[in-house]
Every structure is written in structure tokens, then in C-alpha cells.
Structure 1
Amino acid sequence: MAGGLRVFVLVAVLLVAGCGRSDAEIAALRSAVEAEMATAPLPVGAQLLRGRFDKGCHDFFECADGPDRAAVYSADLYLGRHLSGPASECASFVGVLRGKGFRLVGGWGGTTFEVNEAACAAGHPGSGTVVRADGKSFSDKASLKFSLLDGDVVAPRYELTYSPREAVVLSEVRLTRSMVAHIRGALDREFVLEAVPEVDGIGAESTGIGQWRVPATATSLRFEVTCDPRDEVWLDAHDPDITGKPYGWGRQVVRCTGAVAIVDMPVELKGDKAHVSMSVYGSPASAQRQPSRNGDYVVRFVSAS
């Protein structure tokens, strides 16, 4: 029995040793990935700094029971000049990409669109996927993502995945102020949170965003609610970490009158994130009974203070 166990262990060790990638294979992979990153479009005088390599995984012995993961290489962009504001830097980068035969693409409601100067001026965060002018992947071997901001700070960087992505069809999408707010996920401007019928490009649960960035000093969030007198709106706002808090501690129920109602919601935030969600029901509603809504509604985020 002991001899059989030793044979089993030896076979298992040999299998593991035979299936993992060698140092030479990983080094060759890194060289190939870095070669792809070296072709990333850069402004004149810019450099890639602080490269970070993740070899990914490709079989059971590396990935355990998870899926294979392609190798990834990320790097910061050093421009060799003073950085300006997000809108101007965003416009500068999309111009550089276009001049080198590429496009920066983003997504909204299942539609892929080009991030252009107009989107930058509207406040788009300037992040997206770099594709060729015809919508094909950055290269035949890799896909490339560009990020302009780290939070609210301009800190451009590239992330290359050593696997091509499917070609995309670019559509003309004119971003409204509310759309941009949803894409950015930041509570720093007035915008439509949810509406039926659609208002300013925003409908009912059009993005599914629940967690938003908010100034860490905020103690109150203000909303503007307009809804059918037969309905009521449940607004929830709280820190994403609600451990130890009773369910619904950040909830307010707005009884609709048909007129505009201003709702100030106190919040206790440990950081710079807030979870905001809402539901509209026929009135009266309760945790046990939530009738379907009767009419139209609009909920806007107004300000944080």
C-alpha cells in the first residue's frame, strides 16, 4: 500500500512538472507581449513607464478550476509635459489615435461608439478600447485599453491583453449630460438618475449602476422626484459597506403628488463611494406588498453636500 502511494505521488509530481510553463516559456511570452505594447500609439515625446506584466494562466495546473487567462501588460504614459484638464487631455489623445489610424471606443446601452472630441468636451472620462479605423482589434494578437483618469486625477495608462478582441461596429452616439454622468459613475453634477419615459437619454434601469463616486466629505445627497399621485418612490442611499446596518437604514419613501419634490438624504460614508438605488411602486407599498407603478416618473440627482 505504501509503495502504491509513493508511485501515485511521484506520477502526480511528474504531471504537474510537465504541464506548467517553464521560465523560458514565460520569458518568451513576456517578450512577445512587450513587443506588442511597444507598437501602442503615443504622442510625440511620450514614453511608457512602470510596466507591469501578468503572465495569466493556460491550463488546469495554473488556473485550478478557473478559465484560461491571457497575459496582460500595463504601463503608465509619461508625456514629458505638464498635464492639463481631463477634457483637453481626452481630446488630445483621441486626436493622436486618429492620426495614427486608430479609434478610441466606448459603450452605452449595448451600443459601441467612438469617443471623440465632442464626447471629451461633454465630460466623458476618456477611457475605452483602442481599435483600428475599421473597428478591428488593436492587432491580430492583442487588444489594448486606454485609461485617462485615476479617480479624478489625470494619469494616462495603457493595458494590453495578449488576445485579440472581436471587431466592433461604431455607431454615432451623442452623449447627453446625464449619459456622461452614468458612464463616469460620479455624483458631481445634476443628472437624470432614472425616468419613464426616457429623459435626457436615461430610461428605467438603463445602466444598472448602483455604486457611485461621491465626495468623501458628503453628508447629504439631494434628489428631485416627480411622479404620478397614485405611486410612491423608494430611494436608498448608503455606504456600500453596510455590515452591521439594518436593511433600509438609508431609505426614504416619497409619496407622489404630481409636483416636484426635493428629497435630502443624510448619508454616513466611510470613503468616497455611495450605493444609490430606487424603485417605483403603486401606493401604498410595503416590504410584503409592492404593487406595480401606475404612471410616469423622473428622478434626478441634484447635489451632494
Structure 2
Amino acid sequence: MIWGLRALVLVVVLLAAGCGRGDDEIAALRQAVEAEMAAAPLPAGASLVRGQFDKGCHDFFECADGPDRPAAHTADLYLGRPLAGAASECVYFVEMLRDKGFQLVGTWDEAQFKVDEAACAAGHPGAGAVVRADGRSFSDKASLKFSLLDGDRVAPRYELTYSPQAPVVLSEVRLTRSVVVHIRGALDRPFVLSAGPEVDGITSGQSLGGQWRVAASTTSLRFEVTCDARDEAWLEAHDPEMNGGPEERRRVVPCTGAATVVDVPVVLKKDKAYVAVSVYGSPASVRQQPPRHGDYVVRFVSAS
């Protein structure tokens, strides 16, 4: 029995040694990944700093029961000058990428669109995939992502993945004030959270709930609900890690046909809040949620 166990352990060790990557292979991989990152487009006088290599994983012995993960490399962009505001830096990088034969592609509601000067002026966070002018991947071996902001702080950064990106097909996206806030994912200004039919580029498709950045000191979120008097709105706002059933966190707001201001208290552990809204015909319950009768709009107003 003991000899059999030892034999099994020896077989597992030998398999691991055979399937895992050796130091030479990982060193060669790192060299290839860093060569791809070195080809990333940079403004004149800029350089990549604080680079970090991630060897990724492949096969069971490296990934355990998870999927294979390609190698990656991240680095900050040092411009050699003081950074300006988000909008002007966004335009600066959009123009630089264009001059070097690339474009920045953002995503909204499963549609991909070109981030241009108008998007920067609208408040887009200047984040997305860096692709060639014809929509092909940054290179034949790697994909590249650019981010301009770290929270609300301007901190340009590249993230390269050693796997090519599928060619992008661009769509026309109307970047309204509310759409930009949804893309940024930050509760820092008034905007339309959910509506039916569309209001300011937002529909009920964006109302299923999500995590939003908000100051950790926030104790209350204010919303404005406008809906048909035959309906009722369900509002949730709480810490994403909060325990307890949805019924304990939900605010049911009877609709009046006029705008109704609703304050929802929150207790946050960190700088995230989960917010969701639904509108149903009244009376609704967890087991029966009748279709709504009329149009509705729910706006986020402020955090305090």
C-alpha cells in the first residue's frame, strides 16, 4: 500500500514536471511579451515605467481547474511633463494613436465605437482597446488596452495580453451625458439611471443592477422617480457585500405620475454601491411582477 502511494506521488510529480513550463520557456515568453509591449505607440518623449510581467498559465498543473490564461504585461506611461485634465489628455492620446495608425475603441451596451475628440469632450474616460486603423488587433500576437484614469485621477496605462484580438466592427453610439456616466460607472453627477422607453440614451436594459463607484463616506443616495400612477418602482441601493435577502434592502415607491424624490440610506464598507431599479404594475410581489402600464424615468440625483 505504501509503495503504491509512493509510486502514485512519483507519477504525479513526473507529470507535473513534464507539463509545466520550465524557466527557459518562461524567460523566452517574457522576452516575446516585452518585445510586443515595447512596440506600443508612445507620444514623443514618453516612456513605459513600472512594468509588470504576468506569465499566465496553461494546462491543469498551472491553472488548476481554471481556463488557460495568456501571458500579459502592464505598464504606466510617463510623459515627461505634468499631466493635464482628463478631457485634454484624452484628446492628446486619441490624436497620438491616430497619427501612429491606431485608434481607441470603447464599448457601450455590447456595441463598440471609436473614441474620438467628441467622446473626450463628452467626458468619456479615455479607456478602450488599441486597434489598428482597419480594426485589426494591435498586433498579430497581442491585444492592447489603454486606460487614462485611475478612479478620477489621470494615470495613463497600457495592458497588453499575449493573444490577438478579433477584428472590431464599429457602431454609431450616441454619447449622451447619461451614457457617459454609465460607461464611467461613477455616482458623481446627476444622470438617467433607467427609463422605458429610452431617455437620454438609457433604457430599461441598463436597469438590471450594477456596481457603481461612490465615496466611501456616502450614507444616502437620492433618486427621482417618475412613473404611471398604476405602477410602482422597486429601488435597491446597498453595499455589494451586504448580507440579507433583497426584501430587506428594497424600497417600494408608489408611482404618482409626477416626479417623486426618494432618499435611500446606505452603509458602505468600501467605495462601491450596488444599485438596481425595476418598475412593475401595482401591486407587485416577489412571486408576481405584473407588466408596467406606462412610461417611467428614474434619475440619480446626488450622493451625501
**Which TM-score band (shorter chain)?**
over 0.9
Report the equivalent of 1:301.
300
Q: CA deviation at 1:239?
A: 1.5
Q: Which range is displaced more, 279-288 or 188-197?
A: 279-288
Report the equivalent of 1:111.
111
CA contact (8 A) 2:195 2:296 kept: yes
Task: Report the CA distance shift for 1:84/1:10 in structure 2 as closer, same or farther (over 3 A).
Answer: same
Q: What are the within-5 Å matches in structure 2 for residues 1-305 of structure 1? A: 1-206=1-206, 208-243=208-243, 245=244, 247-305=246-304
Q: CA deviation at 1:251?
A: 2.7
CA contact (8 A) 2:207 2:277 kept: no
CA contact (8 A) 2:209 2:277 kept: no
Task: Report the CA distance shift for 1:292/1:207 in structure 2 as closer, same or farther (over 3 A).
Answer: closer
Task: Report the CA distance shift for 1:171/1:285 in structure 2 as closer, same or farther (over 3 A).
Answer: closer
Aligned sequence identity (%): 72
Letter paired with 2:83: L
Q: CA deviation at 1:103?
A: 0.4
Q: Deviations over 1:13-48 (max 9, x none)?
A: 222111111101000000000000000001111111
Letter paired with 1:46: A
CA contact (8 A) 2:207 2:278 kept: no
CA contact (8 A) 1:250 1:267 kept: no
State the alpha-carbon separation in 2 of the partners of residues 5 and 214 from structure 1. 55
Letter paired with 1:277: A
Q: Deviations over 1:105-131 (max 9, x none)?
A: 011122110111111111111110000
Secondary structure of the residue aligned to 1:189 is coil
The TM-score with structure 2 as length reference comes to 0.95
State the alpha-carbon separation in 2 of the partners of residues 209 and 236 from structure 1. 9
State the alpha-carbon separation in 2 of the partners of residues 3 and 237 from structure 1. 60
Task: Report the CA distance shift for 1:260/1:207 in structure 2 as closer, same or farther (over 3 A).
Answer: closer
Q: CA deviation at 1:219?
A: 2.1
State the alpha-carbon separation in 2 of the partners of residues 207 and 37 from structure 1. 38
Coordinate RMSD, CA, aligned: 1.6
Task: Report the CA distance shift for 1:172/1:59 in structure 2 as closer, same or farther (over 3 A).
Answer: same
CA contact (8 A) 1:182 1:207 kept: no
State the alpha-carbon separation in 2 of the partners of residues 219 and 48 from structure 1. 40
Letter paired with 1:274: A
Letter paired with 1:30: R
State the alpha-carbon separation in 2 of the partners of residues 129 and 288 from structure 1. 42
Q: CA deviation at 1:209?
A: 4.8
Q: Deviations over 1:117-161 (max 9, x none)?
A: 111111111110000000000000000000111111111110100
Task: Report the CA distance shift for 1:207/1:279 in structure 2 as closer, same or farther (over 3 A).
Answer: closer
Contiguous gaps of at least 5 residues in structure 2? none
State the alpha-carbon separation in 2 of the partners of residues 248 and 40 from structure 1. 50
State the alpha-carbon separation in 1 of the partners of residues 136 and 187 from structure 2. 34
Letter paired with 1:259: A
Task: Report the CA distance shift for 1:209/1:287 in structure 2 as closer, same or farther (over 3 A).
Answer: closer
The TM-score with structure 1 as length reference comes to 0.95
State the alpha-carbon separation in 2 of the partners of residues 209 and 285 from structure 1. 19
Q: Count the aligned residue pairs.
A: 304
Letter paired with 2:103: R
